Amino acid sequence: MSLDIFLDDQELISRIQKLKKERNAVILAHSYERPEIQDIADYVGDSLELSRLAAKTDADVIVFCSVHFMAETAKILSPQKTVLLPAAEAGCPLADMITPTQLAIKKAEHPNAAVVAYVNCSAEIKAMADVCCTSANAVQVVDAMPQDEILFVPDQHLGRWVQTQTDKKIILWAGCCPTHQRMKVKDILDLKQQYPDAEVIVHPESNKDICDLANAILSTSQMLRYCQASESKTFVICTEMGMLHRLRTAMPDKTFLQPSKGLICPNMKMTQLEDVYESLKELQHPIEIPEPIRIKALQALNGMLAAVPLK
Ligand code: SF4
């Protein structure tokens, strides 16, 4: 660890900005990142939004402040660019709940099913899928598949929610996001009692009993647009707490509440200003994907974009 890591935040931010110019880099941050990371980012968004932005920019270096599978997705779409994950150990427990061997066994059990992979999975799993989806377009992607049976991986809650919206038979994988599992019905009901006019906005990675309380079930990018368009002034936001910073920054005149204390994804909070600085200074930690896997994973991502073009 270098000594200049003990710089104060202002000095770190100014060095980050200087290095960013020198490297022709762009900084992307997921909506669940720490507030100070969101504030220094060029763009804040959800994983696919950011990966597509990364593919479009003229930057040579993409500093992707998030978790491993998201930086990987950017690399799949932009192989010629240097994609850096500032906190090398930032993974995703949901993405780790499926391995290529496990998926191969399940695919053999359901030879007629199309594999639809939520983007929250590794490049290897994407490469084995027929198509990818996000939480924003999962229903449309599933409906666009010619098969009647869908093996939906790895998030069981998103898959269960998709099942309520489609006639296709969804075969669920037993994965889940540990952060979204922590929400409690009682905490939401307590807030609703205190703020009866508040709308309850729920991410589809949440349990069914939480989804049952929702005014709207939305991805993080949809949440932003929904709250901007809504006439409501108060919202109970049922997802990782970083999203509140994004919503409050975009809509300072509205009130955003979180139902359960400590709804934090520890992996999303690993990236600190020091990591971004070191990442730009030393070009660490670059994402590498074997080309045969990248090409197949790209086909699954492109299949999604062909089925449901992103706006
Ligand atoms: Fe993974 Fe859940 Fe964290 Fe997202 S919030 S990175 S799905 S563990």
Domain ranges of the chain: 3-91+268-288, 95-177+292-307, 183-257
Residues 270-288 have pLDDT tens digits of 999 999 999 999 999 999 9
Report residue 47 as tokens. 């994983």
- Pocket of ligand 1, candidates 85, 97, 121, 177: which has the most ligand atoms within 8 Å of its Cβ, to mutate? 177
Q: Which amino acid is at 175?
A: G
d(CA 235, CA 20): 36
The CATH code of domain 3-91+268-288 reads 3.40.50.10800
Q: What is the pLDDT of residue 43?
A: 95
Q: How far is CA 49 from CA 92, 156, 179, 212, 217, in A?
A: 18, 23, 21, 27, 18
DSSP tag of 196? T
Q: Could you identify the atom of ligand 1 that is nearest to the CA of residue 240?
A: 5
Ligand 1: which atom is nearest the Cα of residue 205? Answer: 7
CATH superfamily entry for domain 95-177+292-307: NadA-like (3.40.50.10800)
Distance CA 98, CA 175 (A): 7
pLDDT confidence of residue 207: 96
Q: Give me ligand 1 centre to Cα 91, in Å.
A: 8
Distances (CA, A) of 132 to 140, 170, 173, 223: 11, 15, 15, 21
CA of 240 to the centre of ligand 1 (A): 8
Phi, psi of 158 (to 5 degrees): -60, -40
Q: Is the CB of 92 under 6 A from ligand 1?
A: yes
Confidence check: pLDDT of 198 > 60: yes
For the segment 135-162, the average pLDDT, to the nearest whole number, is 96
pLDDT for residue 55: 83
Atom of ligand 1 nearest to the CA of 120: 7
Q: Reply yes or no on whether the pLDDT at 31 is more than 80.
A: yes
Q: Is the pLDDT assigned to residue 3 strictly greater than 50?
A: no
User: How much of the chain exceeds pLDDT 70, in percent?
Assistant: 98
d(CA 179, ligand 1 centre) in Å: 7
283 dihedral zone (left: phi>0; alpha: psi -120 to 50; beta):
left
Q: Evaluate if pTM is beyond 0.85.
A: yes
Q: Is the CB of 267 under 6 A from ligand 1?
A: yes
Query: Taking all residues of the chain, what is their mean pLDDT, rounded to a whole number?
Result: 95
Residues 31-43 have a mean pLDDT of 96
The minimum-distance atom of ligand 1 relative to the CA of 267 is 3
Number of other residues whose CB lies within 10 A of the CB of residue 23:
18
Task: List, for residues 208-244, the tens digit of each pLDDT value.
Answer: 999 999 999 999 989 999 999 999 999 999 999 999 9
Q: Do domains 95-177+292-307 and 183-257 have the same CATH topology?
A: yes
Q: Residue type for 97, please?
A: M
**What three-state secondary structure class fits 91?**
coil
According to the model, what pLDDT value does residue 2 have?
55
**With contact defined as beta carbons under 8 Å apart, do 83 and 71 qualify?**
yes
Q: How far is the CA of 65 from the centre of ligand 1 (A)?
A: 13
Kindly tell me if the per-residue pLDDT of 54 is higher than 80. Answer: yes
Task: Give the per-residue pLDDT at 260.
Answer: 80
Rounded distance from Cα 21 to ligand 1 centre (Å): 31
Mean pLDDT across 245-270: 95
Computed over its alpha carbons, how large is the radius of gyration of the chain? 19
Residue 188, pLDDT > 80, answer yes
The CATH number corresponding to 183-257 among 3.40.50.10800, 3.40.50.300, 3.40.50.720, 3.50.50.60 equals 3.40.50.10800
Is ligand 1 within 6 A of the CB of residue 31?
Answer: no
Model confidence at 305, pLDDT cuts 50, 70, 90, reads confident
Q: For residue 94, give the ligand 1 atom closest to its CA.
A: 1
pLDDT, one tens digit per residue, over 86-142 is 999 999 999 999 999 999 999 999 999 999 999 999 999 999 999 999 998 999 999
pLDDT interval class at 259 (50, 70, 90): very high
Q: What is the pLDDT of residue 5?
A: 55
Q: Which atom of ligand 1 is nearest to the CA of 265?
A: 3
Cα 134 to Cα 25, 57, 166, 203: the distances in Å are: 26, 22, 16, 12
Q: Whose CA is nearest to atom 2 of ligand 1?
A: 177
